Amino acid sequence: RKRRSREEIYRVALEEFGTNGYEKVTMERICTRHNISKGMMYHYYANKDELFLLCVERTYGDMKDYLEREVAQLPQQNPVEAIKGFFLLREGFFQRNPLQQGIFEAAAFRPPNHLLEQIRQLQAPVRALNGRFLQGLMERCQLRPGLDQERVARYLEMAEAMFRHSCHSCSQGPGQPDLHRVLERAGELTDFILFGVLRQPAGMGEISPATPQGN
């Protein structure tokens, strides 16, 4: 009975935070909208911070389990296709779990300041998994002179957030997501991220990634 009650509260908290973010949700709103007694709510959870962190913990835990399963299926001999597939993994997870996408975005892009450290700790296993995959991938790639594997792995991890936002925009609007457009955008962005968009002017030397350019 205790497990059922806690799970029921978690499910409605996931719906509220996943739909409305952190700021708009209150314990009273959850109780009123979902017919949960305040006595039961406060018996299990002290405040909305505890509930929100539970949703963040479960979201990142589910994401880590999903990524660990799916990363093993990515191409091993073609690093470009592996990177594209890696970037698409989270999109696949969020298509299956739209409420957890709301939790992820609230935690990653609009986190409450007083919960930042706790959120970072909950994100750490996914960041570590990302780092291991990208580091291993870079060991099989020929990099531009002046770059090292660790720096490129950090760049790719940052690029993934932009990539996911751009691909997600293809699936907005009424009806089913346009998966063809998502895949097309994925290939285009992977090409830009890995190979750039500008032709280097004649006579211009190689830009050192360690040297600041401009002001």
Q: Report the pLDDT averaged over residues 21-29.
A: 95
What is the structure's pLDDT at 211?
A: 44
pLDDT of residue 215: 44
Given a contact cutoff of 8 angstroms between Cβ atoms, the answer to whether 16 and 25 are in contact is: yes
Beta carbons of 163 and 100 less than 8 angstroms apart: no
User: How open is the CA angle 14-183-63, to the nearest 5 degrees?
Assistant: 30
Q: Which of 9, 173, 10, 14 is nearest to 104 (CA)?
A: 14
What percentage of residues in the chain have a pLDDT greater than 70?
79
Structure tokens at 135: 């580091």
Residue 170: the pLDDT is: 59
**pLDDT top residue among 3 and 55:** 55
- H/E run at residue 64: helix 48-71
Q: How many helices (H) and strands (E) does the chain have?
A: 9, 0
Helix (H) or strand (E) holding 159: helix 149-170
Higher-pLDDT residue of 105 and 142 is 105
More confident call, 209 vs 89 = 89
The C-alpha R_g of the chain, in whole angstroms, comes to 21
pLDDT band for 22, please (50, 70, 90 cuts).
very high
pTM: 0.78
Task: Answer whether residue 192 shows pLDDT above 60.
Answer: yes
Summarize the confidence of residues 91-107 as an average pLDDT: 92
At 75, the amino acid letter reads P
* pLDDT value for 32: 96
Given a cut of 60, is residue 209 above it in pLDDT? Answer: no
Find out whether 105 and 168 touch, Cβ atoms under 8 Å.
Answer: no
pLDDT given at position 212: 42
H or E stretch covering 99 = helix 98-109
Across the chain, what does the average pLDDT equal?
A: 82
User: pLDDT per residue over 166-181, tens digit each?
Assistant: 666 655 554 445 555 6
Using the structure block, give the residue that is written with the tokens 């739209």.
98
Whether pLDDT at 185 is above 80: no
CA distance 12 to 197: 45
